[in-house]
């Protein structure tokens, strides 16, 4: 029995006002695609089947190193976070899974948490461990690293936490463990760059050994922050070498914001897939060195090019292709529910446009080195307005044609601000 937070009648009433316009635009899009030899129903099915997970920690107002500005009605525990995730999924119909982060989302009874999620129409995605912060009562500090720490007891504690995450994940029905560590250095000479990787690999191997057969370990690289001179898993090169060293069940996870500026991320996607090491994504956007802006807000074309490679990979799966897609952003100045609905829309838009690429024409142009035709083939798909298709898919599945307007009309946040405890002011990154 599901108990969804937004009234189905309100969604229907909001959709009624917009349905005629969507149908008109959808018919025009369908005619355009037919002229290009594309059957809109095939694309519609794929778009309808597509989903991306949302991060439990993204439901609260994030912060920067300088400040955090909470809003009334923010969630303060995993149950409230799940409720907000259910709103995002109910209106977007594209985010049916939540990716939890431990120890932030710790509870006593994980079976009850799983039932709570199910009642809200949600499941759990990759489990994220956290050895980048110290927790109250912890025996050893991560101040000098976790899996790569020079201190054996600290490494053992970080390994034990990751194994505990696997145990929790089993109870929640997850099958992926995402490992991102903040380990690295701030000064040249601070650590031996080779030996710190050795320690990381040995500790990561202990976690890998505890993975159930049907689980994957996803290594997330990040060039800098919190370590500003070197990170132990800084780039996709370190990531794929570590994943190859650890074994078959270990894959690489690309967080779109974790690269040097202007890096060709779509090429990294193709490379990792070529070696059967593409495990997942954290979607967000970035302008400078930040990794937490809303997906598609800065460079939607890059997002499209990433999906272009993902669609190629889907058609040519090599050793198997089942990447775990997740949003990972920090919402410092918006209502997180609105940001995640808008981001889910940007991600599904990029995927839909990539589905429209005339692959035969593209491959033929590539083989004959017709540079302009190859480029124009991508351009044609990118220029297509797929919004009527996405709106129709959402409406079909019980979601909202206009997600933000419907959310605002529901007054969900206002209601929660009456019911929920206030969040204290504070600094801190999520
Ligand atoms: C690190 O910047 C990161 O991208 C990792 O995925 C963390 O788990 C997440 O952000 C939350 O801090
Ligand atoms: Mn991330």
Which residue, judged by its Cα, is nearest atom 7 of ligand 1? 180
Q: What would the two tokens of residue 410 be?
A: 């529901």
Distance of CA 28 to the CA centre of its chain: 32
Beta-bridged to residue 252, according to DSSP, are 219, 278
Tell which atom from ligand 1 comes closest to the C-alpha of 225.
Answer: 2
- Interval 229-264: pLDDT, tens: 999 999 999 999 999 999 999 999 999 999 999 999
Q: What would the two tokens of residue 129 be?
A: 């461990």
Which residue, judged by its Cα, is nearest atom 5 of ligand 1? 180
18: in domain: yes
Query: What would the mean pLDDT of 36-58 be, rounded to a whole number?
Result: 98
> Domains in the chain: how many in total?
1
Query: Are the CB atoms for 219 and 250 separated by under 8 Å?
Result: yes
Among residues 297, 288, 280, 289, the alpha carbon closest in space to that of 331 is found at 297
Distance (angstroms) between ligand 2 centre and the Cα of 1 equals: 33
161: in domain: yes
Domain that holds residue 240: 8-419
Percent of the chain with pLDDT over 90: 94
Beta-bridged to residue 282, according to DSSP, are 255, 326
Res 110: pLDDT? 98
37: in domain: yes
Residue of 64, 177, 184, 282 to mutate, ligand 1, most atoms within 8 A of C-beta: 282
Dump the DSSP string for 239-268. Answer: HHHHHHHH-TTEEEEEETTSS-TT--HHHH
2: in domain: no
Between residues 1 and 344, the one the model is more confident about:
344
Distance (angstroms) between ligand 1 centre and the Cα of 180 equals: 7
429: in domain: no
CATH code where residue 278 lies: 3.20.20.150
> Is the whole model's pTM more than 0.95, yes or no?
yes
Determine the longest span between alpha carbons in the chain, in angstroms.
66
- Interval 201-229: pLDDT, tens: 999 999 999 999 999 999 999 999 999 99
User: Which residue carries 């220029």 as its tokens?
Assistant: 383
428: in domain: no
Distance (angstroms) between ligand 2 centre and the Cα of 57 equals: 11
216 three-state secondary structure: strand
Query: Are the CB atoms for 209 and 159 separated by under 8 Å?
Result: no
98: in domain: yes
Tell which atom from ligand 1 comes closest to the C-alpha of 57.
Answer: 11
Burial of 413 (0-12, 13-18, 19+ CB in 10 A): buried
Distance (angstroms) between ligand 1 centre and the Cα of 36 equals: 41
48: in domain: yes
Query: Are the CB atoms for 290 and 333 separated by under 8 Å?
Result: no
Whether the per-residue pLDDT at 275 is higher than 70: the answer is: yes
- Interval 351-390: pLDDT, tens: 999 999 999 999 999 999 999 999 999 999 999 999 999 9
Handedness of CA 177, 342, 344, 263 (dihedral sign): negative
Ligand 1 pocket, residues with Cβ under 6 angstroms: 57, 128, 180, 220, 222, 255, 282, 291, 328, 430
Res 427: pLDDT? 46
Q: Is 369 left (phi over 0), alpha (psi -120 to 50) or beta?
A: left
- Host H or E run for residue 367: helix 359-367
């Amino acid at each position: 029995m599901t108990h969804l937070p937004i009234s189905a009648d309100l969604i229907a009433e909001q959709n009624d006002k917009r349905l005629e316009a969507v149908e008109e635009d959808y018919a025009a899009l369908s005619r355009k695609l037919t002229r290009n030899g594309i059957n809109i129903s095939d694309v519609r099915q794929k778009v309808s089947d597509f989903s991306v997970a949302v991060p439990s920690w993204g439901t609260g107002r994030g912060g920067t190193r300088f400040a955090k500005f909470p809003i009334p009605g923010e969630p303060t525990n995993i149950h409230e976070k799940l409720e907000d995730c259910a709103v995002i999924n109910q209106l977007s119909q594209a985010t049916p899974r939540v990716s939890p982060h431990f120890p932030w989302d710790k509870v006593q009874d994980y079976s009850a948490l799983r039932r709570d999620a199910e009642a809200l129409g949600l499941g759990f995605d990759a489990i994220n461990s956290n050895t980048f912060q110290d927790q109250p009562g912890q025996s050893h500090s991560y101040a000098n690293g976790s899996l790569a720490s020079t201190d054996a007891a600290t490494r053992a504690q970080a390994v034990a936490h990751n194994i505990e995450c696997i145990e929790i994940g089993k109870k929640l029905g997850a099958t992926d463990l995402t490992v991102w560590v903040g380990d690295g250095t701030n000064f040249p000479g601070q650590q031996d760059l080779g030996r710190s990787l050795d320690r990381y690999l040995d500790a990561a191997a202990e976690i890998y050994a505890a993975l159930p057969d049907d689980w994957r370990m996803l290594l997330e690289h990040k060039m800098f922050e919190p370590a500003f001179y070197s990170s132990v898993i800084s780039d996709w090169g370190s990531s794929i070498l570590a994943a190859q060293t650890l074994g078959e069940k270990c894959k690489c996870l690309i967080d779109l914001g974790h690269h040097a500026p202007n890096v060709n991320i779509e090429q990294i996607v193709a490379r990792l897939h070529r070696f059967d090491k593409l495990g997942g994504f954290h979607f967000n956007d970035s302008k400078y060195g930040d990794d937490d802006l809303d997906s598609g807000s800065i460079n939607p074309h890059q997002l499209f090019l990433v999906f272009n490679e993902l669609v190629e990979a889907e058609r040519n799966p090599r050793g198997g292709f089942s990447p775990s897609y997740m949003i990972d952003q920090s919402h410092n100045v918006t209502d997180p529910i609105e940001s995640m609905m808008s981001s889910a829309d940007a991600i599904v838009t990029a995927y839909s446009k990539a589905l429209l690429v005339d692959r035969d024409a593209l491959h033929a142009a590539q083989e004959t080195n017709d540079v302009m035709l190859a480029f124009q083939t991508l351009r044609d798909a990118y220029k297509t307005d797929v919004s009527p298709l996405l709106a129709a898919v959402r409406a079909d599945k019980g979601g909202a044609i206009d997600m933000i307007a419907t959310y605002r009309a529901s007054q969900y946040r206002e209601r929660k601000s009456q019911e929920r405890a206030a969040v204290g002011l504070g600094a801190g990154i999520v």
